[in-house]
Chains A and B, each alone.
Chain A
Amino acid sequence: MYIPRQTAAQTRRSFLRENPSVLWFMGLLGLFTLGVTILSEAFGIGVISTNLVKILGMTLCLCLIAIAMDVVWGYCGILSLGHFAFFGLGGYAIGMWLMYARTEIVIRDSLGRGTIPPTETEVSEAVAAQIFGVVGSSELPLIWSFAGSLPFQLAMVVLVPGLLALVFGWLAFRSRVTGVYLSILTQAMTLALSLYLFQNDTGLRGNNGLSGLQNIPGFLDVPQSIISVWFFWASSLALGAGYLLFAWLVSGKFGSVIRAIRDNEARVRFLGYNVEGYKLFVFTVTAIISGIAGALYYPQAGIINPAEIAPIASIYLAVWVAIGGRGRLYGAVIGAALVSLLSSWLTGGGAPNIDLGFFRIVWTDWWLVLLGLGFVLVTLFFPKGIGGLFDYLVRKS
């Protein structure tokens, strides 16, 4: 088979000309964003409800974590079953600011009605009591010290998942943990994190999680119909930027090396490459992007709790990528969008149940069976996933 494109060492051509799929993707994403905006309630003719705009925006965030998963698994061969932990941490980091700042505004408002203006201590105590009353505490935990600062919490969106991935990855890769053992370790990581967060004294409100995240401090008067479109735009922008970043990352010699690591890591070592360093780099970068995706997702979802980072979430992520097609970024996008939208349609009561007379198909019950069946069929008959179908199209033309 002749390989016309994507060779790092070939003559210098522009990145986009070598990767026409990137241009296609950007174009389609732009059209989609424009279309949704025109059809939205806030800026257009109102065919798409605010709720649907939120679902679509959240789907774009899921697509972003899916391409991160594709880079770490499909390109570098690390089957991480813990990337949703990073997604959740990003959500928690931004959620802390959203919740703190909004509560502070509300508290100042009500305390300000008295004759004597409240002191800073009074405000912060009242905020703490308001946020943590639900877990029977009225003290602000240490990790909330800077929750009122947006720049600080935004930095946390990147730093917390990045550092966790760096430390975890360093320990795991240095010990040459690979394959299924590494997958189990990453599952253990996300499970441990989720169990830890379930505790009330962790300082993140236990199983209640953080809520009311759809209300953006400073824009509390702006209706949700408008905010939802803002977040949709932000998600679209993040997905586009993430796609460009990853497409560039995997296109050149770096992509060549990580695919080589996937196929035969011992051989890459004998070529003089520090395999562990590369894995750590890819693991950490994808974790950071996952954190950013989470930080955009949860303000649209409105609530985050520890159940979000249960091990099953990360397994779903791997299933999306496998169905969409590993080792091609648009495949991951297709898989994530298709499966997550189908899932919310079928389990959200959108799909009519089918009465066969002798049997009634209730989609909320049968969705998982359908997903499992789809996964098996794709693995058996389309090992390259749905994205692999594009190969036939390209070859024909």
Chain B
Amino acid sequence: MSTLLEVSGVSVTFDGFRAINNLSIAIGEPELRAVIGPNGAGKTTFMDIVTGKTKPDEGKVLWGEKSTDLLKLSESDIAKIGIGRKFQKPTVFEEQSVRDNLAMALKNKRGPLSVLIWKAGAQDRARIEELAEEIGLTERLDHRAGDLSHGQKQWLEIGMLLAQDPRLLLVDEPAAGMTPAEREHTTDLLKRAAKTRAVMVIEHDMEFIRRLECRVTVLHEGSVLAEGSLDHVTKNQQVIDVYLGR
């Protein structure tokens, strides 16, 4: 397992509020990692920084073997380099079919002209079918994405992430609003994905994280409070004080 993403000494301030404070965190490839922390701990801001939505005041974000500086890249370039993101709220394109949603995410050329002349080849279609199978939406491929249930939208978004074939998946609260059965399916999806790539899951739900059986990083007030197995961090007195004890 080699280091894929390395965030070091990153700080960001919004109107005097220090959302991220000298944060350092690294993830290898392949690895499954859970990130927990109370509200306002900076979990989402951390993802914003990695995906290029927010520029930090200081610190470094390095990527891959060549130690590419992600802070110099735009959101779309970061996505192209191999970082996929799933938002807290499911954000699929509701007016379009499940198939078109997946087709847009497929790893193909992204320029306007190549997209203009793109036609789904046999390989693309097979990949879409395969992904639909994986996320359990085969029956609904030609339906409006807006008509899916909440859980199905979450899966579609995970499917779109997988279609991008990223090396690192950032997943923000994937289990929010899901039924227990749906949660189980989601855990399986993430665990499978993490066999070949790095997956970072932000989650509140302890039961969900326990099922992921992975290393856990606890964030608090914008920096890392503890890191290790779930049992290890839940025994940490500081963690109990700020998060679990409440």
Contacts and interface: CB of A to CB of B under 8 A. Distances in A.
Does B associate with A? Answer: yes
Interface of A: 1-4, 7-12, 249, 252-254, 256-257, 259-260, 263-264, 266-275, 277-278, 281
A252 B118 contact: yes
Contacts of B142: 2-4, 7, 10
Interface string B70-110: 00001111011000110100010111110110111100001
A11 B125 contact: yes
A253 B124 CA distance: 13
Nearest to A282: B112
B112 A9 contact: no
B115 A1 contact: no
Contacts of B105: 271
A3 B93 contact: no
B4 interface: no
Contacts of B16: none
A273 B93 CA distance: 14
Contacts of A8: 100, 103, 118, 120
Interface residues of B, number: 40
B180 interface: no
B112 A281 contact: yes
B116 A269 contact: no
A259 B103 contact: no
Given A4-B142, A267-B91, A254 B116 contact: yes
A2 B143 contact: yes
B143 A9 contact: no
Contacts of A256: 93, 96, 100, 103-104
A11 B120 CA distance: 7
B125 A271 contact: no
Interface of B: 51, 53, 74-77, 79-80, 84-85, 87, 91, 93-97, 99-100, 102-105, 110-112, 115-116, 118-120, 124-125, 128, 142-144, 147, 160, 164
Contact of A269 (B79, B96, B112, B124): B79
B119 A252 contact: yes
Given A9-B128, A10-B99, A272-B110, A252 B116 contact: yes
A3 B91 contact: no
A288 to B, nearest CB: 15
A12 B119 contact: yes
Contact of A274 (B76, B96, B119, B164): B76
7 shortest A-B CB distances, which residue pairs?
A272-B79, A9-B103, A269-B75, A272-B80, A9-B120, A254-B116, A281-B112
Contact of B112 (A271, A272, A278): A278
Contact of B76 (A249, A252, A269): A269
Contacts of A264: 91, 93
Nearest to A262: B95
Nearest to A3: B97
Interface centre among A8, A249, A253, A263 (most CB of B within 10 A): A253
Contacts of B75: 266, 269-270
Contact of A259 (B93, B118, B128): B93
A1 B110 contact: no
B104 A1 contact: no
A267 B116 CA distance: 20
Given A10-B142, A253-B115, 14 more contacts: A3-B143, A4-B142, A9-B128, A253-B104, A254-B115, A259-B95, A264-B93, A266-B53, A267-B87, A271-B164, A272-B76, A272-B80, A272-B110, A278-B112
